[in-house]
Structure 1
C-alpha cells in the first residue's frame, strides 16, 4: 500500500507541472482562507496573549516530531513524551494546565475528544506537514467552538491550495532506527477554480525505551474550488497508529539502573524466567472528513459554514499476570483438578466513536466595527468494551469473551457573538459572550463491572471583554477579563460514581485577568504579559493513573495561577537572530485536604465502605506546574547570499511536583536541554530546491525525566506504600533530513 501511494504521488509531481494558474486575485484567496479559522483566532488588535506559527516555522526545526514537541519553545509550554523522543505518545501543558483543558480546533472545527477533552496527537501522526499555520492562545482567549479553554487554545489551519502546481518529498533518518517519509503534491489552482492537494506520511521507529516502537501512517487529501468570492473545500484525513505501550512509567530505582527499561508486557514464564509479551501495543484508526464553505455575501458581510465527521476505532492489548478472575465476572477455573482464583491472561480493551459537528459564523466588518455571530452543534457517540483473548488457566472461558461494555452520547451546542470596535485608529475594544449547553449520558458496565449509568447536564455562559491601546508608533497596551466554565471528563465522572472520592465531581470555573505590553520595530520585538487565573473548583491531577495512563483528577475549591510571560525577538544584523521567552509564576491551592483511600493489607482491596485518611495543607503547590519555564533560540546565518543557517534551541523547565502535597520526594528535578539544527537550501534554478537539515537533539545528553505519576496505598495502621513512575527522555541523538520541492 505504501509503495502504491508513493508511486501515485511521485507521478503526480511531474504531471501537475502542465497545469496553469487560476486568474483569481491572490490577496482575495488568502482572505478567503483566513475566514475559515477567523472565529477561533485572535486578530493583531485583540487584547489576547498569543503566538503564531507559519508553515515555514512548522517545518524548519521539525523531522517526524508530533505537534507538542514542535510547540515546546513557545511561552509557558511544557511538552513531554512517554517514549523518550518527540514521536509516539506526546502531550503538553500551557501555564501548568494539562492538555484536556486546552481547546483545539482544526479549520475551526472541534478536534478534542468530547469524553477525554484531549487530542491524542499520536492518532494524527505527522499532522504538522499538513498545516498552513497554528495560533496558540494563552488563557481564556477567544475560543468559540468545542471544549472549554482553561489554559489556552490552539487553532490549526490545513494547507492552502497554492497558485501553481507543486511537489514536496522528504525523508529523514535518525537514531533508534527512526525513519520518516513524506510526499505531497498539488495541481495548483486551475483555470476552472479547482485544485487537488494530497500528502502521505510514514513514520517508523524502535523508540528510546523498550517497546517504545511506532508504526504510523497519515494521509491528507483536499479538493477545493475557488471563485473570486467563494471557497468550497472537501478534506479527508486518515491516521493509522501502532505504538508500543509506554504509559506505565519506570520505577525511580530502575531508572538509575536502566533508563530504557519498560515494564509493559513483562511476566514470569513457567520456568521462572522473565519474558515479554510481544504484542503489548496501542492501536488507533482515525478518519476525519470536513466540508468547508466560505462566501463573501457583500463587501462587508462574510459567511462561513462547516461540517465535519470524525470516526475513531482503537484498542490496546496487553498481558496481565496473576489477575483475579472475579474482576472479570468469572468463576474459579478448575484445570486438572486444581481450582484457580487467579490467572495470567491477555486482554484487549476497545473503543469506537463517532463525532458529528456543524458550525457557522456570519461576520460583518466595516472600518470601525467587526461583528461576528455564530454557533455550533456536535453529537458524539462512543462505545467502550473489552475482550479476553487468552487465559492461562481456562476451564470454560470462550475465546474473545466480552466482559464489559458501556456506551455514551454527548450533545454539545453553543451560540456566540463577538465584536471589535475601534472608535479611533489606535484604540480597540473587544467583547465576546458564548452560551454553551452540554447533555452527556452514560450507560452500561465499566471494566471493573461497576454500573456507569448516569445523566449530566450543564449550561455555561462564558464572557470576555478587553481593550488595546497603541501609542507612540510602536507601543501597545492591552487588558482583558474572561470567564470560562468546563464540565468534568468521562474518567472523572465514572471514578466519582464508584465512590471513594473526597467530594462529588462538579464543573469548574476560571476567572482570567490579563494585562500586557508590546513593543515592535524592524529590529526588536518585546512583550510582557501578566496573568492572574482564579479558579473555583479547579480540576487538579492527583498523580494517580488509571490503567490506560490517564491521570485522575479531583476538584479543589480555591486555587490560582499567576505569573508574567516575557518574550523577546532581536535581529541586530542579517546573520544573527535571538528569540526567547521566560515565564515566572506561582501556582497554588488554598486550604487543600489530601485524601488517601485505606486498603486491606492482606487483599490490597479498598476497605468498604471506603475509609480515607486525610492531611490538610493551608497552601500547597499545584502538581505539574513549574514556577519557571523559559526558552531561547540563537540562529546564525553566516552568508548573506547563501541560504544556510545554524540554530541552537534551548529549553529550561523548573522543578515541579507530581502530587499536590509539596513533598520534595515527589518532585521532578529541573532541566535545561539544548538542540542543534543545521540547515542548507540548494537552489536548482528551474528544477526546484533541495533542503538539507541535520539535527542533534539533547545536545549535552542531559539525563532528565519529563513526567511522572504517584500512587499511594495507606493501611489501617497508618503505614503507606508509595509507587512512582518516571518517564526518562533520550540522551543525545541524531537525525538527518533531505527534502526536494518545486
Structure 2
C-alpha cells in the first residue's frame, strides 16, 4: 500500500478520534454547588442525590460538591442529618449555586422551642435524634426504647419487650428527674413527676426530632432537671399533600397499625395533618398485655410573619399489670412469671388469675401556639395548653381487712366477719393547664430570650370497691378514700448568648421558680408547702478553629419532693450544682464529643430500692452525694458505605456519709454507691449502606452492674448485661402507585442474653424485671 495513503488515513483517524473526544468533553460538564445551614455555615458530608440517575455524592469540609453530568436540568435532593431535606432543580450552566438547609427545629420556627433547646455551640452536653433515625426502628416500641443507644441512657420495660410501661434513666437518674417537654409544654406528671409514654402511644410516628440534654441543661419550663432534659418536637406540616400507612408485627403477638395523612399547604397558608395508631402486644412477661390506641391532629396557619398552630393528641391505654417483678429463685426457673392478679389457696399455691388486673387510663392534650415575628430581630411565642387525664387500675385482693375499706364487720350466726376478697379500683382524675411565653431578640452577636410559664394541676385520687365476696354495708360508688392534689407552678427566666468575638461565646441563664403544693392523704393533710427556687446557669464556648471547640458551664437546679415522698416520710427539697467541661471535634469524616461532669447534690432524694404497698418506688434524702463522670460519643465515616458511632460513659456515683434508719436506730454507712447508677454505660452503632436504599445497623449496649439500694447490700446488686440489636431498612421508589415503600426489620437481643434491666428490694429480698430474649419486629410503610 502507498505509504502516503497510509499516513493520510492515520491523520484522518486521529482527527476523528480527537473530534469524538471533544464532543464527549462538550457533552459532559461539572455541576458545582455549596450547601450551607441557616447560619450560612458550610455543611460537610451533606448528601446530594440525583434520583433519576441513581447518582449521589457528599460535600467536602467547605460544604462544596461536584457532579460530573451531561448538560441539562436536574432534580437534586440534598439531605443532612438533623436538617430538612431540600428538593430543588439546577442546570449545569448555573454558577455560584448555594443551597441552604433549614435546621428541623427552624421549620417549626426557632422561637417555638428556643426556650428549651440548645444549639451546636451552646456549652451544654446534648444529643439529637431526628425523624429519619426514629423511623428506622419505629415498629411499636416506646420512646425510651427508641432512645436506648444514646449516650448515658439506660432503659427498661415492665412487660419485657419495650411496649407498655417503659422507663429511662440518664446518668443514673430516673424519668421523674428528667425534665420532659413536648413542643416546650411540660409533660412530667405534676405530682409523681414521672413520665408515662404509654399514655401517648406511638407519639414517635408524629415526632420530628428529640433533643436530650444531659445534666441540668436548659430546663426552663416544668419539672426541675436532676439528670437530663428531654424535648420532643412534633411533626412539621408537609408542603405537599401526602398519605402513608404502616403496619408491623412480631414476637409476643405484637401488632401495630398507623395511618397518617396531610393536606399540604392550602392557599399557601393552611396546613393539616392527622394520625391514628393502634398497638397491641401480649408482652414477654405472662399476661403483660398492652392494648393501646392514639391519635394526633394538627392544624396550622402561616401568613407573612405569623404562625399559629393548634394540636390535639392523646391516647387510651389498657395494660395488664406487670410491675411486681420476680424473686431470684423464680428468675432462674420461670423468667416470665407474673404474680399480678394471682389467686391463692390456703397453702399459697396459685389457683388462677383475675382476668382484669389492668391499668386503664385515657389522656388528651390540647396545645395552641402563636408565633409572631415582628422584624428581623424580634419575635415571640405564646402557648396555651390543657391536658385531661382519667383512669384507674383494678386489683383483686384476697383477705382484705374491712377496716382498710371503711367497711363495717358483719355477723352471721354469731360469727363476726371482718375480712373479704374484693376487687378495687384506684382512680386518678386530673387536669393540667397553663400558659408559656417567650420573647426573643437577636441582633448581630446577641441572642436574648425572656419568658416564663404559669401552670396549675388539679388531681382527684379516690378508690372504689367494685365487688366484694362479703359486701358488708358498701354501696355502689362508695369511696373508701377521697384525696386531692393541687399544684401551682410559676417561673420566669432570662437567658442570653453573646458572641464576644470570632472565638468566644458567652452563655447565661437566670430562672426563678415558685411552687405551691397542697394535697391530702388518708384523712389528713399530706402537704401544704411553698417552694421558692433560684436557678442560675452560665457557660463559655471557645471556638479554637473550624474543627475544635471547648466549653465549660455551671448550672444549679432545685427540686421539690413528689407526692410519694410525702406519703413515705418528711422529705426536704433537693439541690444540684452541675459543672460541665467539654471538647467537640468535627471534620468531614469524624465527630467526637467529650464531656466531663461533676454533679454535687444536697439532700438528693435517691431511690432506696424499696417500694410501697402500691408498687411506687420509695425515695429518701441522702444528705450529700455526687456524680463524677466522663461521656464520649463519636461518629466515624469510614467510607460512604460504613459508619461507626460509639459512645461510653464512665462515672463514679457516691453518697457521702450515708445514714440508714429503721425508725429507731440510725446507722452511718459512710461512703456508698448511689442506687441504680452503673459505673459504665456504653453503646455502639455500626451502619452499613452497601447500596443507596439499604440500611443495615448493628446496635450494641453494655450496662455495668448497679445496686438497687444505697446500702451496698450484696443481694441488691443488679448484674451487668451486654445486648445487641440488628436493624434493617430497605426502600423502594418510585412505583406506579406509591411514592415510596419501606421495609423494616428489627431483631432485638440477637444473642439471646438472659438479663434484667431493673428491679427493687422488698425488705432484704431482691425482685427483678426480666427482659425478653431474642425477639423480632417486621414492618412495611407505604407512602402515597
TM-score for the superposition, normalised by structure 1: 0.90
Quickly say closer, same or farther: Cα 1:227–1:488, change in 2 above 3 A: same
SS in 1 for 2:604: strand
Bigger relative contact order, structure 1 or 2, given CA contacts below 8 A and separation 6+?
1
Q: Deviations over 1:364-388 (max 9, x none)?
A: 0012000001010001111100001
Which of 451, 462, 467 is 1:385 aligned to? 462
Q: Which moved more, 1:156-165 or 1:247-256?
A: 247-256
Which of 420, 428, 437 is 2:505 aligned to? 428
The whole-number CA distance in structure 2 between the counterparts of 1:571 and 1:517 is 19
Alignment match, 1:201: 277
Quickly say closer, same or farther: Cα 1:536–1:30, change in 2 above 3 A: closer
The whole-number CA distance in structure 1 between the counterparts of 2:599 and 2:645 is 26
The whole-number CA distance in structure 1 between the counterparts of 2:404 and 2:701 is 45
The whole-number CA distance in structure 2 between the counterparts of 1:129 and 1:573 is 30
Tell me the number of residue pairs that the alignment of Structure 1 and Structure 2 aligns. Answer: 683
CA contact (8 A) 2:408 2:472 kept: no
1:136, distance to aligned residue in structure 2 (A): 0.4
The whole-number CA distance in structure 1 between the counterparts of 2:269 and 2:102 is 15
Indicate whether 1:626 and 2:678 are aligned: yes
* Aligned pairs for 1:346-495 within 5 A: 346-443=423-520, 445-446=521-522, 450-495=523-568
Structure 1 unaligned regions, length at least 5:
1-20, 497-503, 597-610, 713-721
Alignment match, 1:118: 194
CA contact (8 A) 1:531 1:563 kept: yes
CA contact (8 A) 1:346 1:391 kept: yes
Indicate whether 1:538 and 2:613 are aligned: no
The whole-number CA distance in structure 1 between the counterparts of 2:577 and 2:258 is 43
The whole-number CA distance in structure 1 between the counterparts of 2:780 and 2:746 is 12
Q: Which moved more, 1:71-80 or 1:260-269?
A: 260-269
* Aligned pairs for 1:75-94 within 5 A: 75-94=151-170
Q: Deviations over 1:634-668 (max 9, x none)?
A: 111112xx401211110000000000111221101
* Aligned pairs for 1:121-520 within 5 A: 121-268=197-344, 274-335=351-412, 337-443=414-520, 445-446=521-522, 450-496=523-569, 504-520=570-586
The whole-number CA distance in structure 1 between the counterparts of 2:486 and 2:283 is 36
1:269, distance to aligned residue in structure 2 (A): 5.6
Indicate whether 1:696 and 2:747 are aligned: yes
CA contact (8 A) 2:526 2:567 kept: no
Alignment match, 1:18: none
Structure 2 unaligned regions, length at least 5:
1-86, 88-99
The whole-number CA distance in structure 1 between the counterparts of 2:199 and 2:612 is 20
Which of 709, 713, 729 is 2:760 aligned to? 709
SS in 2 for 1:40: coil
Quickly say closer, same or farther: Cα 1:579–1:316, change in 2 above 3 A: same
1:31, distance to aligned residue in structure 2 (A): 5.0
Q: Deviations over 1:580-604 (max 9, x none)?
A: 10000000001111123xxxxxxxx
Quickly say closer, same or farther: Cα 1:176–1:335, change in 2 above 3 A: farther
CA contact (8 A) 2:407 2:472 kept: no
Q: Deviations over 1:140-187 (max 9, x none)?
A: 111211111110100111100111111121000001100000010000
1:452, distance to aligned residue in structure 2 (A): 3.0
Q: Deviations over 1:310-336 (max 9, x none)?
A: 110010001011222222232323345
Quickly say closer, same or farther: Cα 1:698–1:335, change in 2 above 3 A: farther
The whole-number CA distance in structure 1 between the counterparts of 2:172 and 2:484 is 32
1:262, distance to aligned residue in structure 2 (A): 0.3
The whole-number CA distance in structure 2 between the counterparts of 1:723 and 1:392 is 32
Indicate whether 1:637 and 2:689 are aligned: yes
Larger Rg: 2
The whole-number CA distance in structure 2 between the counterparts of 1:725 and 1:508 is 28
CA contact (8 A) 2:408 2:473 kept: no
* Aligned pairs for 1:594-633 within 5 A: 594-596=660-662, 611-633=663-685
* Aligned pairs for 1:25-44 within 5 A: 30-44=106-120
Over the aligned positions, Cα root-mean-square deviation in angstroms equals 1.7
CA contact (8 A) 1:478 1:516 kept: yes
Alignment match, 1:730: 772
